[in-house]
Amino acid sequence: MPRYVLRRLGFLLLTLLLTSSIIFAITQVLPGDVARVILGREAGEAALNSLREELGLNDPLPVQYLRWLGNFVQGDWGESFSTRTEVRPLVQQRLGNSLMLAAVTLGIAVPVGIALGVIAGLNENTWVDSVVNVSALSVVGLPEFVTGILLIEIFAFRLGFFPANSSIRPGTNFVEALPMLILPALTASLVLLGYISRMTRVGVIGEISKPYVRTARLKGLSRWSVTYRHVLRNALMPTITVIAISFGWLISGLIVVENVYNYPGLGRLMLFAIDRRDLPLLQAVAMLAVLAFAFANLAADLFYAYLNPKIRLQ
C-alpha cells in the first residue's frame, strides 16, 4: 500500500506539472497584449515597453513559466488586472464557497444516487427499475437552468422555504449559508443523481450474478447481509470514480447553476476572468480547478485501493 500511495502521488505531481504548463501556454496564446490591457488604449509605446520589462513579459517563455510556477507554489498568485487587488484572497474566498456548495451537493446526491442505483439494480428489469431509470434519465436530460428556475419557482416563490438569491457575502460561515445552499445544491444534485444511480445500478447488476454472491446466499445469509456485506463493496467501485469526477465539476464547472442562483463560486469567477482577459486570475482559478480534479481522483484511487485488497496488498 505505501508504494501504491507513493506511485499515485508521483502521478499526481506529474499531472499537475503537465496541466500547469498547458494552462500557462493557453493563457499565452490568448489574443491581446497584457501591457495594453493594463495600461489602456491610449498608452504610449515607451510606457508599454517599460511595463513589459517590469512584468518580465520580454523574457523567454520557459523562464516566464518557471517564474510563474515558482510564485504560484509559494503562494504569490499575482495581482488581478481588472480589480487591481491580490488574486489569492479573492480566489480563496470563492473556493471556500464552491467547497461548501460541493459538500452539500454530494451530501444529497451520493446517498440518494447510490440508494436509487442499488434499488434499481436489485430489481433489474422490473417496474421498479424502469421507474428509477426513466426518472433519473429525464432529470439528467433537463438543462440546469430549467430545473433551477423550476426549483426557485416552487421552493422560493410559492413555498418560501429558501431564498431565490444565493449571493452569500464574503465571510459567511457554513451554518449561516446553509439555507442559501440548498436550492443550488439540489439543482446540481439532480444532474449528478442520474450518473451516480446509473453507475451504481450497473455495478450492482454486474456483481449480483457473480458466483460469490450465490455462495453468500447459499450460506443462508439474509438478503440484506448479502447486499450490504457482499454486493455493495464490490459494486460501488466504479461509482467512486464518478463521484470523484463530479467533485471536480462541482468546484469549477458549475457555471450555469452559480449564475441562476447568483452564487459566488469559482465557476463564475472563471467566467469573469475570461471576460476581462484577467490572466493572473484566470491562471489561478484554472490551477485550482486542476488541483480539485487531481485530488478528488487521488482520493478516489485511495478509497478504491482500500476497498480492493488486490491493489492494497500489492
d(CA 71, CA 78): 8
**Residue 212 CB, nearest approach to other proteins (Å):** 5
Q: How large is the greatest C-alpha to C-alpha distance in the chain, in angstroms?
A: 86
Annotate 116-174 with DSSP letters as a single string.
HHHHHHHTTTSHHHHHHHHHHHHHHHS-HHHHHHHHIIIIIIIS-SS-S---PPTT--H
Burial annotation 158-191 (CB, 10 A radius, 16+ → b, else e)? eeeebbbebebeeeeeeeebeebbbbbbbbbbbb
Q: Which of 62, 70, 111, 309 binds other proteins (CB under 8 A)?
A: 309
Contact call for residue 219 and other proteins (CB under 8 A): yes
**Of 46-54, 187-195, 229-237, 288-296, which part binds other proteins (CB under 8 A)?**
229-237
Q: Give 295 or 304: the residue with its C-beta nearer to other proteins.
A: 304
Among 10, 56, 89, 111, binds other proteins (CB under 8 A): 10
Q: Is 229 in the site for other proteins (CB under 8 A)?
A: yes
Binding string, 176-215, against other proteins, x = CB under 8 A? ----------------------------------xxx-xx
In the complex, minimum distance from the CB of residue 313 to other proteins, in angstroms, rounded to a whole number: 7
Q: What is the total count of residues that contact other proteins (CB under 8 A)?
A: 25
* SS3 state at 1: coil
* Residue whose CB is less far from other proteins, 67 or 233: 233
Residues 6+ apart with CB under 8 A from 172: none
Nearest by Cα to 23 from 281, 301, 266: 281
User: Which triple of cell numbers denotes residue 216?
Assistant: 453468500
Is position 7 an interface residue for other proteins (rule: CB under 8 A)? yes
Q: Based on CB atoms, which residue is closest to other proteins, 166 or 297?
A: 297
Binding site for other proteins (CB under 8 A): 7, 10, 210-212, 214-223, 225, 229-230, 233-234, 307-310, 313
